[in-house]
Amino acid sequence: MKKLPTPCYLIDETKLHKNMEKLAAIKKQSGAKLLLALKCFAAWGIFDLMKPYMDGTTSSSYYEARLGYETFGKETHAYSVAYSSEDIKKISVFSDKIIFNSLSQLEQFYLECTNVTCGIRINPGVSYSHFDLADPARTFSRLGVTCITDIEAAMPMVSGAMVHFNCENEDVAAFEQMLAVISLKYETFLKQLDWISLGGGISYTEDHFNSQRFAQIIKNFSQKFGLQVYLEPGEATVAHTTHLVTTVLDIVENNKKIAIVDASIEAHMLDLLIYRESATFEKTIAQGEFLYQIAGRSCLAADIFGEGGFQNELQIGDTIMIKDAAGYTMVKKNWFNGLKMPSVAIRRTNGQIDLLQKSSYTDYKKSLSTTELRI
């Protein structure tokens, strides 16, 4: 660990395999296919560890779709809130399924997708989310078709649909109730389809999640309508597998002790800032004698990871490991303040640590400008 360059996202292979095995059990029991949601996690250097357990990838853009096709293989599903003509020309070359967000986009591009299976996103008006920010069925949502007549008009052009209605849902009973509403509301359309994606946002790999009951619900739904069900796990694939490893650079005091580390919440764990959540830290205790606020090194006044109680006083040079730094974290890292981008490493099952990626000043410079290009 002392040799590990910080900041660094450190993935634990053993914990990753544990998550994969849980997902594989759900797949076997339910008959569903599993697609990795690249919008959540796209560190392709470890895809070889995930491929045996999953059936492909699902994306939200041309870049994600292409990355999934090139580095993961298997099935490549493409979805976007809105495609451009250029997107469709490129994506239709390698995608197995293209899902459209609206009837207007489906009608615009359907004839260009003759060799691709098409689907439509349906917004059922029900959802599970702790955050309005991430609620796909929020008021005035642009995510998916809500009009029954639009769905009816789409049926001759599609063989499947996506219904994404969950965000961090650990409640199997709530999922079952919402799926029952969807089954009743769209029964006529479901019987016309060959496949359906029920999206992601479900905490499949949490220890308390009732995976057997969930699998049976999916199996029953699939058999009732004769559908191949797809699930799109994202955060669940990498939950509790990754730390952001940081080094304490300074310790200051302003009515409380503040340890400043060589990372930033805005640059390296942006979701915590967006959702106003606090990080948790490895090897801290609730009633620790030495309480510290762990803060980032950017100029943002609120660049604060959170607070932790430690058994010993922190010293400059100490390592602070911030938990759960994979899902919706590594894909959102940015160059705010020109701070060094965290490296990416993996701790193998035998304890060996391999470095997968390390950024440099050249990467920072190229992200902002390059040689002048003629348009």
What are the boundaries of each domain within the chain? Answer: 31-238, 241-368
Average pLDDT of the residues in 178-184:
97
CATH classification number, 31-238, choose in 3.40.50.300, 3.40.190.10, 3.20.20.10, 3.10.150.10: 3.20.20.10
| pTM for this prediction | 0.94
| pLDDT value, residue 228 | 98
The pLDDT, as a whole number, for residue 340 is 95
User: What is the structure's pLDDT at 91?
Assistant: 96
| Residues contacting residue 271 through CB under 8 Å, at least 6 positions apart | 277, 328, 329, 332
Span 121-148, pLDDT tens digits: 999 999 999 999 999 999 999 999 999 9
DSSP single-letter state for residue 203? -
Query: For residue 370, what pLDDT band results from cuts at 50, 70 and 90?
Result: confident
**Strand locations in the chain (E):** 8-12, 33-37, 56-59, 75-80, 97-100, 117-121, 160-162, 195-197, 228-231, 242-253, 257-261, 290-295, 304-310, 319-322, 343-347, 353-357
- Nearest-angstrom CA–CA distance, 258 and 308: 10
Q: Is the pLDDT of residue 374 over 70?
A: no
pLDDT at 282: 86
For CA atoms 71, 75, 79, 83, the dihedral sign is positive
Q: How many CB atoms lie under 10 A from the CB of residue 317?
A: 9
298 pLDDT exceeds 60?
yes
Provide the CA 149 distance to its chain's centre, in angstroms: 32
What is the distance between the alpha carbons of residues 13 and 347, in angstroms, rounded to a whole number? 6
- Reply yes or no on whether the pLDDT at 347 is more than 90: yes
Nearest to 318 by CA among 219, 243, 244, 250: 250
**Is the separation of the CB atoms in 10 and 353 below 8 Å?**
yes
What average pLDDT does this structure show over 215-236? 98
3-state secondary structure 175-198: HHHHHHHHHHHCHHHHCCCCEEEC
The answer to whether 127 and 165 have CB atoms below 8 angstroms apart is yes
Task: Give the whole-number percent of the chain exceeding pLDDT 90.
Answer: 93
Which of the following CATH numbers is that of domain 241-368: 2.40.37.10, 3.40.50.300, 3.90.79.10, 2.60.120.20? 2.40.37.10
Residue 151 pLDDT > 60: yes
pLDDT at 154: 97
Question: What is the Cα–Cα distance from 11 to 261, expressed in whole angstroms?
Answer: 20
263 vs 260: CA distance, rounded Å? 8
Q: Which pLDDT value is given to residue 371? A: 73
Helix (H), strand (E) at residue 311: none
Q: How is residue 126 written in tokens?
A: 């029900």
d(CA 11, CA 306): 21
Residue 126's alpha-carbon distances to 34, 146, 169, in angstroms, are: 23, 11, 13
pLDDT digits (tens, 9 = 90+) for 55-103: 999 999 999 999 999 999 999 999 999 999 999 999 999 999 999 999 9
